[in-house]
Chains A and B, each alone.
Chain A
């Protein structure tokens, strides 16, 4: 339970303490500067922090946390702010601890296949640092050119290649973090855990509610010897879904299996002139990787399965440049949305793969009923959808429609046996769904686990669990109208 004296207005003496810890050059307190941090990629909810600080060491983070505890002020970590669920929204204001200046790769050990990084290291920068070594860092969210590994830890990020390589938690050996009580704690390390609970696994995906990560030991992965990357073109989304199911059902685990529908294809072609067929209902980007000796057969099997499922054509990338451009189109798809609408809201629902036809048809129907354009680009191999709902956030009615449409889509995912988030996290956006996914007993157990790490609730308040906004925290309010006000 949070102390009733937690405040969203920070006293001057705390500002002074923070300035002493990080120096005035690494502290933002003017309104204009703070506006940049009022939201992350989830633009529907906004709140300006009272101050943003940029520590450079774990000890600075520790001292910042202790200062916040001393003055009973909430605090929230932030990486690059690419969260799509309001994961770094400063609910109740308080101190935002931005980790972008803790951006060093501390060690790379190729022989033992691990790297040690600070939380502000941009995901792609680790793989870039490994270029030429024969290794890479496998979790590759589409935002990897901007998102940080610390942020990836927060949400247990995925990406297109999780189908074969797993998500962030499968590649984290250990974490160092500052607990919400202000202690520096280590779980795991280069050798993984000792004989204890998998606390590293528990910490990953805790969305900043267990503390502020300050160092991460990550596993690095051998590069595959070769790739075969295909673009399969379909005249209907049902055919596309059938192909997905047939590929997986045939016992093939592609490295990636991504779907893009016509709406996003049009935007991508306008942006990148790749040569996408603009009249296709959907395309599948399918990649297999591994030993070269086996890939031609695997690619041929996939081609045959796609053709049997109704594919109009299946193109095989002939050069590394063509492959790279195809992936650029996929990974920058969200950026291409800017050509279609001033704002977008993307959902992150998951369904069993075999239920993809139903959910895609449902999404199309939702778009019609709410008169909202929805395009789809997503990790089809995992059943992890990303319907992108387009709107203008300056139009309140459009905001309400998008929220209602989003809720219907997520409700349907639950009905089909899935989840409301495959990789973006609950954040603030989907807190209201936790009661739909979990029983009271489940949530009580999770709240008890949260209290182990965050007994006063001051670290990342208002996130992940619906009880987070309960008793004792009423005065931690959203300053700007949030999702509930919009509804």
Chain B
């Protein structure tokens, strides 16, 4: 491990992480593995912690060190025609950061999020304890599920050092089509049709732009025959909508589109995030557009990213979604804000980091 002017410490082993944490005197600068963060925190550079630890492809699991880049992981899995089916916003991001941020894109509708794929974790907590949870088998309920806790934890419970995922086979084909709709009612009808469609989409997104533009985006995957059948079926089911277009006609193009959408979610353009029930998406979007803002929705999941003029939006959106268990959140939240967001989160984080070592 080497350190430069105490701004960052280069890490090549889990022992390095333990040393850094344990050597921090009380009240010293906080520690983070995030690329961004407080200028005063000590940043751990985990790029040297990037090995493939175990990849038994026929078991459809992979174990990697947390500093491995997502691009390298994607390439590794592609060599065996496998995937971790969560859209990658930034291929230069580390696997550990990906897990800690719980980023997900359009394919969460059909495939879920990292929560559904992380099966084993090694991390170092704020007391310098190396801890493990889960394992390397796809079913495992021994001990508390700290894997779920790690996903989206923003580095608050520990520095992730090793991760095990269960994988899926890469589909033979993945196609995306779009449909232009005229108004909120047409959108609601279309989403209702999709809810009980004869097809089984893996993407169900809605882009709400300026000038009352509503674009429904639906993606399907599987074999060539299955995809082709589904696209034709969708055209039939959505024939009341305006013209349809192909957004991406092959797997590479479709994955790329999904990644672009995911990237847009964390490039700073969005200021608000709404989580609501899917049936409220049309009304939420109508409210957003009435206020002059725009949105991209993972409509099938009720997740809405909002950009533009959002200054007065939070209150009417809260009034709309909170009675149905929804949330209006800032699009980006620091780890310390995250730590304070909920009392049970704070209490749980304190079990790992009682001295608030992590930024």
Contact = CB atoms under 8 A, between A and B. Distances in A.
Interface of A: 109-114, 134, 155-156, 158, 162, 166-167, 169-170, 174, 185, 187, 189-192, 194-202, 204-206, 217, 222, 225, 245, 248-249, 251-253, 290-291, 293-294, 297, 350-354, 379, 382-384, 417-426, 430, 433-434, 437-439, 441-442, 444-446, 448-452, 464-465
Contacts of B138: 350, 382-383
B230 A291 contact: yes
Contacts of B59: 248, 352-354, 383
Contact of A201 (B115, B170, B226, B276): B115
Nearest to B278: A112
Given A109-B277, A383-B138, 19 more contacts: A170-B112, A191-B321, A195-B273, A195-B338, A197-B149, A198-B115, A202-B146, A252-B169, A253-B169, A379-B139, A382-B138, A383-B59, A418-B135, A423-B139, A437-B135, A437-B142, A439-B130, A448-B351, A449-B348
B146 A195 contact: no
B279 A112 contact: yes
Most buried by B among A169, A191, A452, A464: A191
Most buried by B among A190, A201, A248: A201
A189 B139 contact: no
A303 B163 CA distance: 35
Given A202-B148, A293-B226, A191 B129 contact: no
Nearest to B168: A253
A225 B342 CA distance: 41
Contacts of B149: 197-199, 201-202
Contacts of B229: 291, 293
B275 A191 contact: yes
B132 A354 contact: no
Interface stretch (B5-13, B21-29, B192-200): B192-200
A185 B351 contact: no
Contacts of A417: 135-137
10 contacts: A156-B141, A201-B115, A201-B151, A206-B145, A290-B226, A350-B138, A417-B135, A417-B136, A426-B141, A426-B143
A426 B169 CA distance: 31
Given A202-B146, A291-B222, A293-B226, A158 B139 contact: yes
B67 interface: no
B141 A251 contact: no
Interface stretch (B89-97, B309-317, B326-334): B326-334
Given A170-B112, A441-B129, A419 B146 contact: no
Interface in B24-67: 56-61
A245 B223 contact: no
Interface string B315-326: 000000100111
Nearest to A157: B141
Contacts of B145: 156, 169, 201-202, 204-206
A205 B324 contact: no
B348 A191 contact: no
How many chain B residues sit at the interface, stated as a range, is 35 or more
A434 B142 contact: yes
B128 to A, nearest CB: 10
A111 B281 CA distance: 12
B151 A198 contact: yes
Given A113-B278, A441-B131, A444-B129, A191 B139 contact: no
A201 B153 CA distance: 12
A367 to B, nearest CB: 23
Contacts of B347: 452
Given A196-B338, A196-B345, A423 B141 contact: yes
Contact of B345 (A189, A199, A464): A199
Contacts of A446: 133, 143-144, 146
Contacts of B57: 249
Contacts of B213: none
Contact of A354 (B58, B129, B168): B58
A225 B185 CA distance: 28
B278 A352 contact: no
Contact of B148 (A169, A384, A426, A451): A169
The 6 closest A-B pairs by CB, nearest first: A201-B148, A251-B169, A422-B139, A189-B325, A194-B327, A196-B342
A451 B348 CA distance: 9
A451 B354 CA distance: 13
Nearest to A170: B116
B351 A111 contact: no
Contact of A422 (B141, B170, B351): B141
Contact of A196 (B116, B273, B341): B341
Contact of B329 (A194, A448, A449): A194
Contacts of B342: 194, 196-197, 199
B33 to A, nearest CB: 17
B125 interface: yes
Nearest to B144: A446
B224 to A, nearest CB: 10
A442 B182 CA distance: 55
Contacts of B56: 352, 354
Contacts of A170: 112, 115-116
Contacts of B190: none
B325 A352 contact: no
A441 B130 contact: yes
Most buried by B among A253, A420, A449: A449
A97 to B, nearest CB: 21
A276 to B, nearest CB: 26
B302 interface: yes
A98 to B, nearest CB: 23
A264 to B, nearest CB: 20
Nearest to A437: B142
A162 B151 contact: no
B242 to A, nearest CB: 23
A293 B225 contact: yes
Given A191-B327, A202-B149, A293-B226, A197 B141 contact: no
Contacts of B341: 194-196
Contacts of A383: 59, 137-139
Contacts of A425: 141
Nearest to A222: B200
A225 B198 contact: yes
B84 to A, nearest CB: 14
Most buried by A among B82, B148, B169, B198: B148
Nearest to B132: A442
